[in-house]
Chains A and B, each alone.
Chain A
Amino acid sequence: DTAVSQTPKYLVTQMGNDKSIKCEQNLGHDTMYWYKQDSKKFLKIMFSYNNKELIINETVPNRFSPKSPDKAHLNLHINSLELGDSAVYFCASRLAGGTGELFFGEGSRLTVL
């Protein structure tokens, strides 16, 4: 079984559209994250959810909104897509508050035309 799964793996869309990426983890972790990886492979934290509560919201445009229906799921919704949103988005999870490692999904490559 895949520990952290995200869908879709690839997403191609037009500027101005709205899209969502889904993430699920079956590890029983308390904290889930969304990261954005740019073309230079640099990873930037976007959001962190701990037991369904947003605990970190970095300087991300409000067009991006995380939604967590339960602690095993953290979806990412993006409104009014822009060219600069093209990137690979990674979902990850870990046990809250400790020094445990992150478990990553395979990534969702978003291309905005």
Chain B
Amino acid sequence: AQSVTQLDSHVSVSEGTPVLLRCNYSSSYSPSLFWYVQHPNKGLQLLLKYTSAATLVKGINGFEAEFKKSETSFHLTKPSAHMSDAAEYFCVVSEGSGGGADGLTFGKGTHLIIQP
């Protein structure tokens, strides 16, 4: 069985400072991992994905994430926060089979607040 834990329900940072959103997972297989962003009143948009290639993954809008198998983590980072980054962020694990919903498991989300 697979699971995803987003360690912070809310994160608040000042504009221009680094962002760190934490995600830990458990999986019986070699998983694929995703980060999605949801802006207010919008659908979910893919930020980046890891699918067993390079462990450091670069995404859109300056975000990146590093897959660390030994720590079972896939934390999302950005060097400098922008006001437009304020949104809900979801970490997702996929085993391709097994688990629920065709192997996809969503974290409960982290609400990112950007202080001016």
A binding-site residues for B, Cβ under 8 Å: 4, 31, 33, 40-43, 45, 48, 50, 55-56, 58, 90, 92, 94, 96-99, 101-107, 109
Partner of B101, one of A4, A56, A90, A101: A56
Distance, CA A96 to CA B104, complexed state (A): 12
| Known A-B contacts A90-B43, A101-B46, A107-B42; A55 and B102 likewise in contact (beta carbons under 8 Å) | yes
Q: Does chain A have a CB within 8 A of B94?
A: yes
Distance, CA A110 to CA B30, complexed state (A): 37
Total A-B Cβ pairs within 8 A:
60
Interface size bracket, B side: 20 to 34
- Per DSSP, chain B at the interface is strand
Partner of A101, one of B34, B41, B106: B34
Contact partners of B106 in chain A: CB under 8 A: 43
Distance, CA A33 to CA B103, complexed state (A): 13
Distance, CA A90 to CA B45, complexed state (A): 12
| Known A-B contacts A31-B102, A41-B109, A43-B106; A102 and B44 likewise in contact (beta carbons under 8 Å) | yes
Distance, CA A109 to CA B102, complexed state (A): 25
